[in-house]
Amino acid sequence: MTAQEIRQAFLDFFASKGHAIVPSAPIVVKNDPTLMFTNAGMNQFKDIFLGEAPAKFPRVADTQRCLRVSGKHNDLEEVGIDTYHHTMFEMLGNWSFGDYFKKEAIEWSWELLTSVYGIDKDRLYVTYFEGDEKEGLAKDQEAYDFWKQYVDESRILPGNKKDNFWEMGETGPCGPCSEIHYDGRSDEERAKVPGASLVNADDPNVIEIWNNVFMQFNRLKDGNLQPLPNKHVDTGMGFERLVRVLQDKTSNYDTDVFQPMIQFIAEKSGKKYNASAVPGDADWNDAVAMRVMADHIRAISFAISDGQLPSNNKAGYVIRRILRRAVRYAYQYLGFKEPFLNQLVPLLAEQFKGVFDELYTQKDFVQKVVLEEEASFLRTLENGLNRFDQAMGAAESDKIISGFTAFELSDTFGFPIDLTELIARESGFSVDLEGFEIELQKQKDRSRAATAIDTADWVVLQEGDNVEFTGYDETETVAHVIKYRKV
């Protein structure tokens, strides 16, 4: 099955079970101070769960574009290194708003995976909440009993509060969850080590694919749990992981979701993509770079097409950081000295045509923004990397990049601090983050002192004043602000 067919089969299956198919919410969250980006399918239904908005339909399903690069879920450091965490990914989900509960959710998830998709039952493990005495939480016996109707007991595993009890926040709806994991190892390996011991153990071949949350309590301010009058189901399945399982691959990047882009990058760089490179291999960094680029362009493109331009603060800076990370990989390992990432945008837009049309209809604009951002960072990247080499040479003994250098790299060369850390780490160096914070604070104090004199947004020139052009303001990507300084 192609990725397209796999996605459609999910939606068709839940439509056949009476679900309304709804569109994905934007990846950028504009009206919630607690969240910058959509990080799960349930985000757009939060008000329904909180009882603050009515549900339009009792059952819905969709594919939600998600981003996990900040806050509670931040997978950025894993991306490109492991085979199954992305920055941007699709979360397939089905919901019940006070309608069906555990029985149907469990039955249908099993039916979809094993009958519709035909996944080998022996490779699937399911988990249930084991209870937590200290917290006064009971074991989820119900879920266990429903699973027992389909799954051999040796493959139904207890899970702790961290993995198997979901809470929206300090207060509000919460409840136990059941996850489904897939063991993709060879028969030989499976005979040697039982898959049950590898569930939730960071094994790259035994991965979580689906989470079914059963919201049945409301956590009150005093910490007590109150049973919800209406119980809800909230599920999320990683689409790229599902595709990997169904296409029988050992990496999400080997599926038709990522291969067209990886092959394009490989061709243009004149290097081969070696999917099986391991750390220490000569082509490991090349492979990581290709994966990072194919991943990051998705995060950047969807954020921009959903209204978040790269900028110097908050959500905009998160996007700028991701982009600069990708540009650095492209430049340093694959030899892309000119803007290149933007060329992936049309490819991506084509791939998501009919799925997320927002990107397709704005692809020219998105490509232009990416191109400008790349060009701007590439202007300082080479010098920054040289400065980096010098700094590493000078810090050969303690292998610590000083706060001052990290600040200079950020301020003069546009290296976000996490990029500096990443580059340092690749050579076995660390960064003095405290020192960096001190330098940052000093700069803030300096600019506060400066703005105390410079009170307005612009200076009214008097006859006879001389002005000097000081360049474009890099904080604005599309509409450049031209800055002049009175001299």
Q: Which amino acid is at 352?
A: F
How far is it, in rounded angstroms, from Cα 122 to Cα 113? 12
Smallest distance, ligand ATP to C-beta of residue 202, A:
9
Q: Which residues in this chain contact ligand ATP in the complex, by CB under 6 A? A: 40, 68, 75, 85-86, 89, 91, 208-211, 236-238, 240-241
How far is it, in rounded angstroms, from Cα 240 to Cα 254? 10
How far is it, in rounded angstroms, from Cα 427 to Cα 451? 40
Greatest extent of the chain over all pairs of C-alpha atoms, in Å: 88
How far is it, in rounded angstroms, from Cα 139 to Cα 126? 15
For Mg ion, which is the closer residue by CB, 208 or 295?
Answer: 208
| Beta-carbon count within 10 A of 219 CB | 18
Q: Which residues in this chain contact Mg ion in the complex, by CB under 5 A? A: 208, 211
- Per partner kind, with CB cut-offs from 5 to 8 A, the member of Mg ion, ligand ATP, none near residue 236 is ligand ATP
Smallest distance, ligand ATP to C-beta of residue 371, A:
27
For ligand ATP, which is the closer residue by CB, 237 or 345?
Answer: 237
- Per partner kind, with CB cut-offs from 5 to 8 A, the member of Mg ion, ligand ATP, none near residue 241 is ligand ATP
- Per partner kind, with CB cut-offs from 5 to 8 A, the member of Mg ion, ligand ATP, none near residue 85 is ligand ATP
- Per partner kind, with CB cut-offs from 5 to 8 A, the member of ligand ATP, Mg ion, none near residue 86 is ligand ATP
DSSP H stretches of helix in 17-122: 46-49, 102-110
Smallest distance, ligand ATP to C-beta of residue 94, A:
12
Cβ atoms of 151 and 121 within 8 Å: the answer is yes
Helix 344-351 to helix 284-305 angle, to the nearest 10 degrees?
Answer: 70
For ligand ATP, which is the closer residue by CB, 66 or 431?
Answer: 66
Smallest distance, ligand ATP to C-beta of residue 9, A:
17
Both tokens assigned to 293: 């680029």
Cβ partners under 8 Å of residue 106, min gap 6 = 143, 146, 147, 150, 178, 212
For ligand ATP, which is the closer residue by CB, 74 or 443?
Answer: 74
How far is it, in rounded angstroms, from Cα 316 to Cα 319? 5
How far is it, in rounded angstroms, from Cα 82 to Cα 21? 32
Smallest distance, ligand ATP to C-beta of residue 351, A:
17
- Per partner kind, with CB cut-offs from 5 to 8 A, the member of Mg ion, ligand ATP, none near residue 238 is ligand ATP
For ligand ATP, which is the closer residue by CB, 24 or 211?
Answer: 211
Smallest distance, ligand ATP to C-beta of residue 61, A:
15
Q: What are phi and psi of 400, to 5 degrees?
A: -125, 125
For ligand ATP, which is the closer residue by CB, 79 or 431?
Answer: 79
Residue 478, classified by CB atoms within 10 Å of its CB into exposed (0-12), middle (13-18) or buried (19+), is exposed
- Per partner kind, with CB cut-offs from 5 to 8 A, the member of Mg ion, ligand ATP, none near residue 68 is ligand ATP
For ligand ATP, which is the closer residue by CB, 94 or 477?
Answer: 94
- Per partner kind, with CB cut-offs from 5 to 8 A, the member of ligand ATP, Mg ion, none near residue 91 is ligand ATP
